[in-house]
Structure 1
Amino acid sequence: MDSTTSTILVLVIIFFSTFVRSALGFGDALIAMPLLAFVVGMQVATPLVAMGASTIAFVILLKSWRKVEIKAAWRLVVSTWIGIPIGLYFLKEAPESLIKAILGILLVGFSLYNLISPKLPQLKTEKWSYVTGFLAGILGGAYNTNGPPVVVYGMLRKWSPEKFRATLQGYFLPTGAAILIGHGLAGMWTPEVVRLYAYCLPVIVGAVLLGGWVNQKIPKGKFDKIIYGFLVIVGVLLIVK
């Protein structure tokens, strides 16, 4: 695949994944990571998605920062910071095929969970936030997929939709910054990554604006099922590849 073709594919993937994140509040890495892994490999996809995710969170928070539930987010943030170095080590040392297979299993499991929508009990205490954040840090450092554990935790805590969306961005921004620093220290900010990120910036801003508009227009339930069904297919492809 030549450079021009791969760059165009990267821009299309980033636009779509950012659009989903802006419309739903999360999900960009779940879409972008496996697709970018096919195009540019995990070593480029991981820092590129991290840069994009932090940019998305910043742009969204420009409007919704007052709605962030700080009390619910700080425990998750701190414990995530602790787990990130473990995830970075796993990314550098584990075979790429193993990483893709694990990511595929994660995608299928998380997507089926959302499609089935099980009736789970409400968590009455914040004590599970530390375990959730630590697991999210490992997944975030390795695959930029720290979202699923936190999303499930938020569902179990029965956060309101407004608090859910805003608090996720308040969580993703500081944890994303830590992941970015970790990638930089690990030598993953290569010229190719920086070049692709520069191309992606205007695409990200446009997708955030469009996703925010769609968020107000499309019934979330139907849109969610389309996205999660697509993620099941992508996850299966990663597992069998």
Structure 2
Amino acid sequence: MGIVFLLSGWFVFCAFFIASFVHATTGFGSALVGMPILVFAIGLQISAPLLALLGQIVNLGVLWQNWKDLDWKHSLILIVPSIFGVPIGLLLLKGGNEELLNAVLGIILVTYGIYSFFYNNNQEINKEISVVSRPHFFWGAIAGFCAGILGGAYNANGPPVIIYASTTHKDKGSFRSILQAFFFVNGFIIIAGHIFAGLITKDVFYYSLWGLPGLIVGMYLGFYVDRFITPQRFRNIVITGIIILGIGLLLPVFYSLLF
């Protein structure tokens, strides 16, 4: 048991190092990158509250860097509906079939990755566009609600709000500002939900001792690299990794269905 905990602890360290590095460099992606690795190592019910707790440190760091540009008004369109989605996600996490939930997460990752490739290519073609469109309250509410469900179940609240923000915020600064405001507030909502649902256990605190050092080192390096690497190139690398991780979560499901 000691060796198992030690090995899984190193997996957690590496997961948070990679996740925080990606988030600090690109402004998003800590859950999309970190969650699949954590699920492989320690299971979904420990991974979700663990990433919620430590991921908020990354959110705070990125929030600090973007404080002057935060778009609280547009973010409220996403934040308020997400409050109603988080409890549904927590119910799925606590009582759902873990294999099924992993498969759903895998589908989300692959779908989001494919979408992001098409979106990034479109941005390259239309890079002269740099405007903030009028927010669409209906689609913003839908995106926020879905993000709340995914955040409660997987901490993967990014895809719906990223897709929404990409249609209303065309330049990097405004796009990043609405995401950071949402992630920070929604992170506290998700943590409160995990506490209320009794998912913050001693195992979560144990693995947080492994994850915190990896998170700090990854976040520091991410902020440093962010000054030198082009966001477009790095996001393409991240998106490729997200698709690979999603396929990795789906492979055991396909194997069980076929054999």
TM-score (norm 1): 0.94
Identity of aligned residues (%): 34
Equivalent pairs, count = 241
1:102 maps to 2:113? no
* Within-5 A mapping of 1:117-196: 117=119, 119=122, 124-127=134-137, 128-196=139-207
The answer for unaligned runs of 5 or more in structure 1 is none
Give yes or no for contact 1:68–1:167 (8 Å, CA) kept in 2: yes
SS in 1 for 2:66: helix
One of 55, 68, 71 as aligned partner of 1:69: 71
Match of 2:47 in 1: 45
Give the conservation status (yes or no) of the 8 Å contact 1:77–1:171.
yes
| Matches of 1:159 and 1:212, distance apart in 2 | 23
Query: What is the aligned-residue RMSD (CA, Å)?
Result: 1.8
Question: CA deviation digits over 1:175-232, x for unaligned, max 9?
Answer: 1101001111111111110122133223322222211121121122221122111211
Q: In the TM superposition, what whole-angstrom CA distance separates every residue of 1:56-88 from its partner, at most 9, and x where no partner exists?
A: 111222232121011111121111111100111
Q: Return the alpha-carbon distance in structure 2 between the equivalents of residues 93 and 189 of structure 1.
A: 16
More deviation, 103-112/152-161? 152-161
2:255 counterpart residue number? none
Secondary structure in structure 1 of the residue aligned to 2:195: helix
1:47/1:189 contact within 8 Å kept: yes
How far residue 124 of structure 1 moved from its aligned partner, in angstroms, is: 3.8
Which letter maps to 1:20? V
Larger radius of gyration: 2
Q: CA deviation at 1:52?
A: 1.8
Within 2, Cα distance between the matches of 1:90 and 1:212?
35
Shift of 1:123: 5.9
* Residues 1:201 and 2:231 are matched in the alignment: no
Unmatched 5+ residue regions in structure 2? 124-131, 253-259
Worse-matched range after superposition: 160-169 or 128-137:
160-169
